[in-house]
Amino acid sequence: MIVFFNPRSNESGKPVLPMSVLSLAAVLEGKHDYSIVDGNLLDQPLGAVRSHFDNGAQILAVTVMPGRQVRQAIEISRKIKEEYPAVVIVWGGYFPTMHPKVAISAPYVDYIFRGHSEIPFVALVDAIISGSKHRNQAGLSWCDPENAEIHNNPEGPVPDLNTLPDYPYHRIEMEPYMIETFLGSRTIPHHASYGCPFKCNFCGVVNMVDGRYSGQDADCLERAMVQLVDKYGANAIQFFDNNFFVSESRTVRICERLKPFGVSWWAFARVDTLMNYSDKTWELMRDSGLKMAYLGAEAGSDEILARMNKGGRQSADQTLAIAERMKQFDIIPEMSFVLGNPPNPASDIENTFRFIRRIKAMNPVTEIVLYLYTPVPLAGDLYALAQSSGFKFPETVEEWTEDYWLEIAERTTVDLPWLTSSVRRKIGNFQKVLQAAYPTETDPQLKGIRRRVLSMAGMWRYRLHFYSAPLDLMIMNRLLPHRRPEVAGF
């Protein structure tokens, strides 16, 4: 038996459908027995994992994202290896893909997979269970116990989603994953594509796919919707694809299939891609239930966009234009910005603040999500500048469990070598004023008089460009609790 373990991924324990585990389980269906243990649903998952190895399970497969999942992945893997030394432990996901040497050097990890690994994983399981010593599976890394030499097989292609089996939803309890969001009372995520054809040099997706992409066709997606909507009662879908809207013709086919289901939906997009869509396609997206699209605006400067490897395709003018265009079709833009980029973070944030104000003037309901730039191990100007400022990733997996590195992984730290205390304060103060003046549209509890009072409290500051010492808004946030995405420490 194979035990799939999904470590706890957030502080609250909020359950998120473990799609990475389901994608691997799907290819094992009918070939090998398996069980799925989700650390987000259990206070003490070790007991649930241990019970399977008491009954003879042979392989522990752990999906590991940078951040909180590393902590529980270490805890469970170490305990299982101590108690059941013969068990083979395999890690996969973004963390071992981005930091393979660190991950495979952990004494309780036998193998890691880099990149997407559905087909290679099945081959490894077959080899382990049959006793074969062949370790030629694509993307596999392991450490030779005799000489400590690390072996890294070349990564394979991103799998064609249309050739992979459907998720085995029947192997888990689906009800805990149906959550209430602004989209609907029973919201569930889905992956309709893998990868992204672009190579932004601040984005960990590049490590995972290196510009490769595979999109689920409309027939496959419709089959998934029948399961999620008709069988399990979902009324809203969050497409957690890295880049949902790569092809306009595919988007059209998908929207035509989505429309009869009557669901609301949300997805990730690129500004320049959506700007090239026709009005007819925009109308179809709206009519099919698209309520909001998450757009990587990232910066209000073409120079910084170019440094991020977005320039030449995406421009600041396009970001302003997409905000105006989405207003026309009553679809909310949700725009992310990466602040504090080296080498001149103070100038960067001032420029971004001015740019955000232009967006809000054009389309006031635009959601603004602020991140601090935190490095990812990719070639390019940003990472090189971070390294020149003294930034260095941990050399052991245990270091990644420290609070500082957890915040780095989750892009919530304010303690970065190139950020001064003054810059940190400016970001925090601007964020508080912006979020009060323009409360989020995604908080169903913030309506009517509560919303108007909060907006009035922040708007006078916003209009006067007066962001300093917003103690009044800190008090207001306590009196009127509401959803607001924040950078930790502000």
Backbone phi, psi, residue 312, to 5°: 90, -20
Sign of CA dihedral 326, 330, 331, 337: positive
- Cis before 485 (ω within 30): no
Alpha helices in 259-367 (DSSP H): 271-275, 279-287, 302-307, 316-328, 345-362
Same structural domain, 391 and 294: yes
Residue 104 shares a structural domain with residue 184: no
Among 384, 404, 419, the domain-final residue is 419
Q: Does residue 185 share a domain with residue 103?
A: no
Instruction: Looking at the structure, tell me whether residues 25 and 107 fall in a common domain.
Output: yes
On whether residue 201 sits in a domain, the answer given is no
Domain final residue, candidates 369, 394, 419: 419
Q: Is residue 453 in some structural domain? A: no
- The owner of tokens 């001149």 is 344
Residue type, 219: D
Based on the domain organization, do 265 and 309 belong to the same domain?
yes
Residue 369: which CATH number?
A: 3.30.750.200
In a domain, 279, yes or no: yes
Q: Are residues 146 and 94 in the same domain?
A: yes
Cα–Cα distance, 112 to 109 (Å, whole number): 7
Task: Say if residues 187 and 245 touch (Cβ distance below 8 Å).
Answer: no
140-143: strand order across its sheet = 34-38, 2-6, 59-63, 88-92, 111-113, 140-143, 150-152
CA–CA dist 389, 402 (Å, integer) = 21
Collapsing DSSP states into helix, strand and coil, what is residue 35? Answer: strand
Do residue 133 and residue 184 come from a single domain? no
Question: Are 246 and 129 contained in the same domain?
Answer: no
Instruction: List Cα–Cα distances, 225 to 21, 235, 254, 319, in angstroms.
Output: 19, 10, 11, 31
Same domain, 242 and 389: yes
Residue 468, both tokens: 């300093």
CA separation for the pair 268, 237 (Å, rounded): 12
The pLDDT assigned to 442 comes to 86
Q: Angle of helix 421-437 relative to helix 448-464, nearest 10 degrees?
A: 140
pLDDT at 417: 83
Helix (H) or strand (E) holding 237: strand 236-239
Q: How confident is the prediction along the chain (490 residues), in pLDDT tens digits per residue?
A: 999 999 998 877 678 999 999 999 999 999 999 999 999 999 899 999 999 999 999 999 999 999 889 999 999 999 999 999 999 999 999 999 999 999 999 999 999 999 999 999 999 999 999 999 899 999 999 998 878 889 999 998 899 999 999 999 999 999 999 999 999 999 999 999 999 988 888 888 888 888 889 999 999 999 999 999 999 999 999 999 999 999 999 999 999 999 999 999 999 999 999 999 999 999 999 999 999 999 999 999 898 888 888 866 789 999 999 999 999 999 999 999 988 888 788 888 999 999 999 999 999 999 999 988 888 887 677 788 888 888 889 999 999 999 888 888 877 766 788 888 888 889 889 999 999 999 988 887 788 898 899 999 999 999 999 999 999 999 988 888 877 765 544 4
487 in a structural domain? no
Q: 67 and 186 share a domain? A: no
Residues 239 and 191: beta-carbon distance below 8 Å: yes
Kindly state the tokens that stand for 318: 């396009």
Last residue of a domain, one of 419, 448, 467: 419
Q: What is the pLDDT of residue 413?
A: 67
Give the pLDDT score at 99. Answer: 94
Residue 346 lies in a domain: yes
Residue 182 lies in a domain: yes
Residue 474 lies in a domain: no
| Alpha carbons 363 and 392: distance in angstroms, whole number | 40
Of 482, 480, 479, 477, residue with least CA distance to 444: 482
Q: What are 80-89's contacts with CB under 8 Å, separation 24+?
A: 80/49, 80/50, 80/53, 80/108, 81/107, 81/108, 82/108, 83/50, 83/53, 84/53, 86/58, 87/53, 87/57, 87/58, 87/59, 87/60, 88/58, 88/59, 88/60, 88/128, 89/59, 89/60, 89/62
Domain contains 56? yes
Residues 378 and 276 in one domain: yes
Number of compact structural domains in the chain: 2
For the domain that residue 103 is a member of, what is the CATH number?
Answer: 3.40.50.2300
Q: What angle separates helix 471-479 from helix 421-437, to the nearest 10 degrees? A: 50
In sequence order, which residues have a C-beta less than 8 Å from that of residue 322 and are 6 or more positions away?
Answer: 271, 274, 275, 295, 333
**Res 310: pLDDT:** 82
Pull the structure tokens for residue 350. Answer: 């001032």
Read off the pTM.
0.92
Angle at 183 between CA 181 and CA 188, to 5 degrees: 70
C-alpha torsion angle, residues 341, 345, 348, 349 (rounded to 10): 110
163: phi then psi, degrees, rounded to nearest 5: -105, -5
Are 186 and 137 within one domain?
no
Its domain, for residue 322, covers 178-192+236-419
Question: Taking the CA of residue 248 as centre, how many other CA atoms within 13 Å lie in the half-sphere pointing to its CB?
Answer: 13
The answer for residues whose C-beta is within 8 angstroms of residue 12's C-beta and 6 or more apart is none
